[in-house]
Amino acid sequence: MVAPQNAAEYIGAYKILHKIGEGGMALIYKAIQPSLKRTVVIKKLKDPNREIINRFKKEALLSASFHHENLTAVYDFLYTKRSYYLVMEYVDGEDLRTIIDFMAPLPPVLAGLLILEIVRGLQYTHARNIIHRDIKPGNILVSYSGDVKLIDFGVAKDNVSTRLTLTGMIVGTPAYMAPEQANGEPLSTGSDLFATGILLYELLTGVKPFYGENNTEILSRIVRNKYIPPQRLNPDIPRAYRRIIKKAIHKDKKHRYQNAAEMIKDLEKAIDWQAQSDKKTVISRFLKTLDKTQETTGTDSVKMQVFEAVPSWGWRTFRVALGFVIAGLLVFQGIRFSEKQLGYVQLPAQMQDMMLQVDDQKPQKIHKAGLEIGPLLKGRHRLKAYAPQKPGIVMADITIKAHKTERINLRIPEVRDSASCAITSIPAGAVIAVNDSTLGKTPLTDLHFFPGRYRIRLSKAGYAERDETIRLSRGQAYSLQYNLSPKE
């Protein structure tokens, strides 16, 4: 079949809009599915032989079984007019290669959020015994709405099929291979995490850790684990990110992350919780600042050779000068981010010595009258305040504006102004959440709330969740008891 040339042509029931890309194995088209009025991507297999067709079919079967926010969905697989087609979810955005070329080095919080989403996608596939084997920037899509998607499972390996390699060809992209992959040894889920560590290095520095003039030189550096520490290229990389990179791309498999859950745990510790709670907004707003008029990165070889060519006596001066330049850029980017995304809250003086919880974070004691808290991402946040050893609790939803300080007036209700409440359950030990803010476990007594509507939710492992909304009236006492039903 001749490749479609204009929007009047169809592949099956799909109306072709235009060609958007081409890989080593397939042509990529943007199309419309008229019956559902949705945009899709169609991959058309090029020059098929038996092994390539098997790989293409495998990608279709694997991807069709995925149901995860960080993996693209597959809608259809076609064989028509002697050609194979794969119909997939359309992601309106950019691939990570473009983001690195035009925006790197990224602020650590952005780099961390992107990598965290990638690793969550890998955690899903690894739990199904699927190793991607080709993690690289071109296989990561970031949408303008803030979604991060892992694509291209054409060379993935699972525990069912083992013969996926084209005869005489190396599987994967050399610059992102783990040492065992470069040596042709058996792979593990840690091999994908190794490549993800390389992505984090590249996002934070703008260059790959293992570079070379050809694939042989690149693979040699990977096997010897020879790379410049990322802090030499960008001195402002936080220590937590350096540790993640060092562990992820360690030469010895025993010292690397053994599974995706370990890496996710370290990333969640390194990334500010406010950014995590509004990750799509943070990623989306940053991506919309993309300017494709000028690349920020040159070739890896040239950049790295500059660092290696600096004599030892001049390295300190060179590093200091580079540090000032990079620090200036990061400070400028941080100021822009702060002005557009962050705000503060000023608390009333009477809240001194009370406990305050913002969203779902750990409660902290307010030691200073009129304290400002933040920075917080602009948008809605939930506050919960209470006084230790005293009855009463107050909750409030507030809206933070960018680069502004919001002044709020919270107070614990007096007993005569409040509704008292006791919450129990059978069995006891159920987690109580009021307006989606966790209070503790049943039984809880002597709670005091401002009059109004509250959503009460109880959850306990092995039991069905209870969820209801009640109205509490001033001066009334309520005894709320819930019988929890075991899950079937």
Give the pLDDT confidence score for residue 261 in this predicted structure.
Answer: 95
Q: Can you read off the two tokens belonging to residue 117?
A: 């989403």
Q: Can you read off the two tokens belonging to residue 224?
A: 């010897």
Give the pLDDT confidence score for residue 406 in this predicted structure.
Answer: 73
First-residue to last-residue Cα distance in the chain = 54
Q: What is the pLDDT of residues 235-266, one digit of tens each?
A: 889 999 999 999 999 988 899 999 999 999 99
- The β-bridge relationship of strands 419-426 and 477-483 is parallel
Nearest by Cα to 301 from 415, 229, 215: 215
CATH number of 93-161+171-309: 1.10.510.10
In sequence order, which residues have a C-beta less than 8 Å from that of residue 271 and are 6 or more positions away? 109, 112, 113, 116
* Domain parsing of the chain, residue ranges: 10-89, 93-161+171-309, 342-407, 415-483
In sequence order, which residues have a C-beta less than 8 Å from that of residue 294 and are 6 or more positions away? 102
In sequence order, which residues have a C-beta less than 8 Å from that of residue 8 and are 6 or more positions away? none
Q: Can you read off the two tokens belonging to residue 333?
A: 């980017």
Q: Can you read off the two tokens belonging to residue 408?
A: 């709020």
Q: What is the pLDDT of residues 2-32, one digit of tens each?
A: 444 444 588 888 999 999 888 777 889 999 9
Residues of the chain with pLDDT under 50: 1-7, 159-169, 302, 306-307, 309-313
3-state SS class at 157: strand
Is 134 one of the annotated active-site residues of the chain? yes
Q: What is the pTM of this model?
A: 0.61
- The CATH class, in words, for 10-89 is alpha beta
Q: Can you read off the two tokens belonging to residue 158?
A: 């699972």
Q: Of these residues, 95, 101, 134, 192, which one is catalytic?
A: 134
Asked if CATH classification 3.40.630.30 holds for the domain at 415-483, the reply, yes or no, is: no
Give the pLDDT confidence score for residue 165 in this predicted structure.
Answer: 41
